[in-house]
Amino acid sequence: MRVLLVNLRGVPDDEADEIRALLTEQSVRFYETSAGRWGLSQPGIWLPDTSQLADARAMLDTYQAQRLASARAGQRPISFVSRLRQAPVRVMLLLLAAGALLSLFVAPFLYFGTT
Protein backbone atom coordinates (compact mmCIF):
# COMPACT_ATOMS: atom_id res chain seq x y z
CA MET A 1 0.00 0.00 0.00
CA ARG A 2 1.44 3.39 -0.96
CA VAL A 3 2.17 5.92 1.75
CA LEU A 4 2.92 9.65 1.68
CA LEU A 5 6.42 10.30 3.00
CA VAL A 6 6.72 14.06 2.41
CA ASN A 7 4.06 16.61 1.57
CA LEU A 8 5.78 18.99 -0.87
CA ARG A 9 3.28 21.84 -0.61
CA GLY A 10 5.27 24.83 0.61
CA VAL A 11 8.60 22.98 0.66
CA PRO A 12 11.50 24.95 -0.87
CA ASP A 13 13.00 23.48 -4.03
CA ASP A 14 16.44 23.00 -2.49
CA GLU A 15 14.99 20.99 0.39
CA ALA A 16 12.94 18.81 -1.96
CA ASP A 17 16.04 18.21 -4.12
CA GLU A 18 18.05 17.21 -1.05
CA ILE A 19 15.33 14.80 0.08
CA ARG A 20 15.20 13.20 -3.38
CA ALA A 21 18.99 12.86 -3.41
CA LEU A 22 19.00 11.33 0.08
CA LEU A 23 16.35 8.76 -0.85
CA THR A 24 18.13 7.90 -4.10
CA GLU A 25 21.47 7.60 -2.30
CA GLN A 26 19.99 5.20 0.24
CA SER A 27 18.24 3.15 -2.50
CA VAL A 28 14.75 3.89 -1.23
CA ARG A 29 12.14 3.39 -3.94
CA PHE A 30 9.83 6.39 -4.25
CA TYR A 31 7.77 8.32 -6.72
CA GLU A 32 6.63 11.90 -6.84
CA THR A 33 3.35 13.62 -7.61
CA SER A 34 3.03 17.26 -8.63
CA ALA A 35 0.38 19.78 -7.73
CA GLY A 36 -0.92 19.66 -11.27
CA ARG A 37 -1.79 22.46 -13.63
CA TRP A 38 -4.09 24.30 -11.23
CA GLY A 39 -2.37 23.33 -7.99
CA LEU A 40 -5.25 21.19 -6.76
CA SER A 41 -3.53 17.82 -6.47
CA GLN A 42 -1.38 16.60 -3.60
CA PRO A 43 2.30 17.28 -4.35
CA GLY A 44 4.41 14.80 -2.48
CA ILE A 45 7.01 12.10 -2.32
CA TRP A 46 5.38 8.71 -1.92
CA LEU A 47 6.66 5.26 -1.09
CA PRO A 48 5.08 2.50 -3.19
CA ASP A 49 4.83 0.19 -0.17
CA THR A 50 5.36 0.37 3.58
CA SER A 51 8.33 -2.01 3.68
CA GLN A 52 10.86 0.87 3.65
CA LEU A 53 8.76 3.37 5.61
CA ALA A 54 10.58 3.03 8.94
CA ASP A 55 14.02 3.45 7.36
CA ALA A 56 12.93 6.34 5.17
CA ARG A 57 11.22 8.10 8.09
CA ALA A 58 14.35 7.72 10.25
CA MET A 59 16.57 9.13 7.47
CA LEU A 60 14.14 11.99 6.92
CA ASP A 61 13.97 12.82 10.64
CA THR A 62 17.77 12.91 10.83
CA TYR A 63 17.97 15.10 7.73
CA GLN A 64 15.35 17.54 9.02
CA ALA A 65 17.08 17.79 12.41
CA GLN A 66 20.37 18.64 10.65
CA ARG A 67 18.63 21.19 8.39
CA LEU A 68 16.96 22.82 11.39
CA ALA A 69 20.24 23.03 13.29
CA SER A 70 22.03 24.63 10.34
CA ALA A 71 19.18 27.08 9.77
CA ARG A 72 19.16 28.10 13.43
CA ALA A 73 22.93 28.51 13.47
CA GLY A 74 22.71 30.98 10.59
CA GLN A 75 20.03 33.12 12.23
CA ARG A 76 20.21 35.61 15.01
CA PRO A 77 17.31 37.48 16.56
CA ILE A 78 16.75 41.00 15.25
CA SER A 79 16.33 43.64 17.94
CA PHE A 80 14.29 46.81 17.64
CA VAL A 81 17.45 48.92 17.55
CA SER A 82 18.99 46.90 14.72
CA ARG A 83 15.71 47.05 12.79
CA LEU A 84 15.64 50.83 13.34
CA ARG A 85 19.18 51.10 11.99
CA GLN A 86 18.37 48.99 8.91
CA ALA A 87 15.16 50.78 7.90
CA PRO A 88 14.50 53.90 10.00
CA VAL A 89 11.84 55.37 7.72
CA ARG A 90 9.83 52.16 7.64
CA VAL A 91 10.01 51.76 11.43
CA MET A 92 8.90 55.35 11.99
CA LEU A 93 6.00 54.99 9.56
CA LEU A 94 4.88 51.79 11.25
CA LEU A 95 5.07 53.46 14.66
CA LEU A 96 3.03 56.41 13.39
CA ALA A 97 0.44 54.07 11.89
CA ALA A 98 0.20 52.12 15.16
CA GLY A 99 -0.20 55.36 17.10
CA ALA A 100 -2.92 56.58 14.73
CA LEU A 101 -4.84 53.32 15.07
CA LEU A 102 -4.48 53.36 18.83
CA SER A 103 -5.76 56.93 19.02
CA LEU A 104 -8.76 56.02 16.84
CA PHE A 105 -9.66 53.18 19.18
CA VAL A 106 -9.08 55.09 22.42
CA ALA A 107 -10.53 58.48 21.42
CA PRO A 108 -14.22 57.51 21.78
CA PHE A 109 -13.64 56.34 25.34
CA LEU A 110 -11.83 59.53 26.23
CA TYR A 111 -14.51 61.70 24.59
CA PHE A 112 -17.50 59.96 26.17
CA GLY A 113 -15.75 59.77 29.52
CA THR A 114 -15.66 63.58 29.83
CA THR A 115 -19.36 64.22 29.23
Q: How confident is the model at residue 86 (pLDDT cuts 50, 70, 90)?
A: very high
Residues 12 and 54 in one domain: yes
- Average pLDDT, integer, range 28-47: 92
Residues 11 and 66 in one domain: yes
Domain that holds residue 105: 81-113
Residues 47 and 9 in one domain: yes
Residues 44-70: tens digit of each pLDDT: 999 998 999 999 999 999 999 999 999
Residues 65 and 18 in one domain: yes
- Domains contained in the chain, number: 2
- What is the SS3 string spanning 39-60? CCCCCEEEECCHHHHHHHHHHH
pLDDT recorded at residue 107: 86
Is 17 a residue whose pLDDT tops 90? Answer: yes
Is the CB of residue 30 less than 8 Å from the CB of residue 51? Answer: no
Residues 33 and 87 in one domain: no
Is 101 a residue whose pLDDT tops 70? Answer: yes
Residues 87 and 69 in one domain: no
